[in-house]
């Protein structure tokens, strides 16, 4: 074996925390390792939460690590929520872990969306996390696109995940390139994501060379498009009050903007009616069907359709009548 390969082998063992093997290999190959370099690796192991590797490595290298340093790292592990590392460190140093400290650390982990460390901390002292902490953890996980930990938090709390939390999580999953979790979140919420959202997720996966995830996203986007085209459009009347309080409308949507009557130039007094479309028209035939239906069923000839009011493929119709002259000939400043 060439010296370059031996050095690479030694470095690999040092990087992975296997210092004893690195030291033995260096002695056999006649390659010297300085105490400073080895000591640097020992403290790097400690920083990584590998106290047992640090202690074993220090012994193999003949390096002394003060007991006070080990105790200091035990406290650091607790602060960072590295529960298993803290438990291992407590056994090595002979330091007991106070129940109150573990519960405090577990609570902090859950409130920050770190489910597993939080459960580990509570588990060591045989305590069950409070329901409110689990729900906060679940919501935090959903916000960050951590679908499965969020579900688990709600399962342990014996609560049903909220609709808005699932949709927020699904959208976040698609944004970060997790199509499977995103699709599961929307399915659990009994909603359909937009094909554009899922397709963008696939493109992200493709750029990152995660071909299988990209395939899942593109296939799902195509199925959504095919399904939407096959379903007839349904119209349901609603109100601005209901729309304003709904969590399904886009945050950026606040209304249809300024209006002006083309007959009397009134720009202040209007009467409005709102209608939700299960999906927007996809072709000229469907547009004509919508025009005819609005006229025949509701007596409406002039209206405006917003295609981006919701997070999915639904559309929103606004019908306006001038409050001064009663004309439907109103222009929208979109």
What does the alpha-carbon distance between residue 304 and residue 167 come to, in Å, rounded to a whole number?
Answer: 27
What are the structure tokens assigned to 222, written together? Answer: 């195509």
pLDDT for 254 equals: 63
316: helix, strand or coil: strand
What does the alpha-carbon distance between residue 150 and residue 145 come to, in Å, rounded to a whole number?
Answer: 9
Q: List Cβ neighbours of 89 (8 Å cut-off, separation of 6 or more).
A: 51, 70, 73, 74, 77, 95
pLDDT for 230 equals: 67
Cβ–Cβ < 8 Å for 208, 271? no
Half-sphere exposure of 293 (CA within 13 A, CB side): 15
pLDDT for 172 equals: 96
Task: Going from the first residue of the chain to its last (334 residues), give the mean pLDDT of each consecutive group of 10, the final group possibly shorter.
Answer: 82 92 88 90 93 92 90 86 85 84 88 91 89 96 96 96 95 96 95 92 95 96 81 87 75 70 88 89 86 92 83 85 88 69
252: helix, strand or coil: coil
pLDDT for 145 equals: 95
pLDDT for 1 equals: 57
What are the structure tokens assigned to 272, written together? Answer: 């409005």
What are the structure tokens assigned to 166, written together? Answer: 């699932």
Percentages (nearest 5) of helix, strand, coil residues in the chain: 60, 10, 30
Of all helices (H) and strands (E), which one includes residue 177?
none
pLDDT for 48 equals: 92
CA 264-267-271 angle, to 5 degrees, is 90
pTM here? Answer: 0.58
Cα–Cα distances (Å) from 9 to 6, 57, 270, in that order, read 5, 16, 78
């Amino acid at each position: 074996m060439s010296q370059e390969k031996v050095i690479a082998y030694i470095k690999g063992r040092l990087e992975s925390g296997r210092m004893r093997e690195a030291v033995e290999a260096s002695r056999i190959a006649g390659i010297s390792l300085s105490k400073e370099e080895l000591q640097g690796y020992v403290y790097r192991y400690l920083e990584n939460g590998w106290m047992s590797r640090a202690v074993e490595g220090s012994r193999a290298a003949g390096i002394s690590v003060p007991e006070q340093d080990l105790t200091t790292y035990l406290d650091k592990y607790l602060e960072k929520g590295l529960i298993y590392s803290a438990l291992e460190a407590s056994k090595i140093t002979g330091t007991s872990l106070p129940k109150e400290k573990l519960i405090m650390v577990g609570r902090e982990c859950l409130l920050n969306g770190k489910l597993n460390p939080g459960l580990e901390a509570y588990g060591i002292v045989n305590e069950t996390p409070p329901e409110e902490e689990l729900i906060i953890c679940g919501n935090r996980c959903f916000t960050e696109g951590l679908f499965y930990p969020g579900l688990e938090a709600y399962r342990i709390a014996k609560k049903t995940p909220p609709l808005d939390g699932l949709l927020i999580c699904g959208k976040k999953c698609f944004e970060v390139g997790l199509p499977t979790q995103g699709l599961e979140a929307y399915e659990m919420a009994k909603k359909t994501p937009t094909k554009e959202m899922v397709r963008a997720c696939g493109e992200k996966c493709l750029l990152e060379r995660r071909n299988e995830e990209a395939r899942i996203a593109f296939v799902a986007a195509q199925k959504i498009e095919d399904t939407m085209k096959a379903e007839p459009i349904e119209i349901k009347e609603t109100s601005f009050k209901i729309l304003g309080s709904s969590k399904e409308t886009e945050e950026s949507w606040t209304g249809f903007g300024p209006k002006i009557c083309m007959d009397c130039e009134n720009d202040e007094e209007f009467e409005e009616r709102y209608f939700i479309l299960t999906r927007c028209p996809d072709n000229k035939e469907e547009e004509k069907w919508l025009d005819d239906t609005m006229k025949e069923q509701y007596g409406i000839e002039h209206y405006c359709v917003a295609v981006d009011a919701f997070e999915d493929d639904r559309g929103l119709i606004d019908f306006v009548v001038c409050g001064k002259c009663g004309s439907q000939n109103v222009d929208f400043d979109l």
